[in-house]
Amino acid sequence: MRENIAGRANVADTPELERYYADLAKLEAGALWTVANNIEPWQPKPSSVPMLWRYADLKPYVQRASALVTPEDAGRRVVMLVNPGRREISAACGLLYTGIQIMEPGECASSHRHMASALRFIMEGSGAYTVVDGERIELGARDFVLTPNGTWHEHGVDAAGTQCIWQDGLDIPLVNALDTNLFQVHKDLRQTVSKPADSAHGTYGGGFLLPTDARKNWTHPYSPLLKYPFDATYEALRRADKAGVNSPFDGVLLEYVNPLTGGPVMPTIGAAMQMLRPGEATKAHRHTGSIVYQCAKGSGHSMIDGVRYDWTERDIFVVPSWSVHSHANGSDRDDACLFQFNDLPAIRALGLYAEQGVPVATG
Of 135 and 330, which has the nearer Cβ to a second copy?
135
CB of 79 to a second copy, least distance (A): 5
CB of 16 to a second copy, least distance (A): 7
Q: Which residues in the 37-56 window bind a second copy by CB under 8 A?
A: 37, 39-46, 48, 51, 53
59, 66, 80, 331: which one binds a second copy (CB under 8 A): 80
Of 42 and 332, which has the nearer Cβ to a second copy?
42
Of 223 and 329, which has the nearer Cβ to a second copy?
223
DSSP 8-state symbol, 136: E
Q: Which residues in the 11-30 window bind a second copy by CB under 8 A?
A: 11, 16-17, 20, 23-24, 27-30
Using the rule CB under 8 A, give the single segment among 159-167, 253-261, 293-301, 325-333 that binds a second copy. Answer: 253-261
Kindly state whether residue 76 participates in binding a second copy, applying the rule CB under 8 A: yes
Using the rule CB under 8 A, give the single segment among 157-165, 259-267, 298-306, 326-334 that binds a second copy. Answer: 259-267
d(CA 294, CA 92): 13
How many residues lie near a second copy (CB under 8 A)? 152
d(CA 310, CA 322): 20
CB 264 within 8 A of CB 257: yes
CB of 336 to a second copy, least distance (A): 18
DSSP 8-state symbol, 4: -
d(CA 200, CA 148): 14
102, 116, 119, 338: which one binds a second copy (CB under 8 A): 116
Report which of 190, 170, 187 is spatially closest to residue 71, judged by C-alpha positions. 190
CB 167 within 8 A of CB 100: yes
Kindly state whether residue 243 participates in binding a second copy, applying the rule CB under 8 A: yes
Q: Which residues in the 293-332 window bind a second copy by CB under 8 A?
A: 320-322
Cβ density class 185-218: b for 16+ within 10 Å, e for less = eeeeeebeeebeebbbbebbbeeeebeeeeeeeb
Kindly state whether residue 200 participates in binding a second copy, applying the rule CB under 8 A: yes
Kindly state whether residue 215 participates in binding a second copy, applying the rule CB under 8 A: yes
Kindly state whether residue 126 participates in binding a second copy, applying the rule CB under 8 A: no
Kindly state whether residue 349 participates in binding a second copy, applying the rule CB under 8 A: yes
Kindly state whether residue 112 participates in binding a second copy, applying the rule CB under 8 A: yes
d(CA 54, CA 213): 46
CB of 208 to a second copy, least distance (A): 5
160, 208, 333, 359: which one binds a second copy (CB under 8 A): 208
d(CA 124, CA 141): 6
Angle at 255 between CA 118 and CA 178, to 5 degrees: 40
CA distances from 26 to 11, 13, 14, 17, 36 (A): 21, 18, 19, 14, 20
CB 103 within 8 A of CB 156: yes
Of 18 and 332, which has the nearer Cβ to a second copy?
18
Kindly state whether residue 156 participates in binding a second copy, applying the rule CB under 8 A: no
Torsion from C-alpha of 189, 194, 196, 200, nearest 10 degrees: -80
DSSP 8-state symbol, 343: S
127, 156, 251, 263: which one binds a second copy (CB under 8 A): 263
Of 240 and 328, which has the nearer Cβ to a second copy?
240
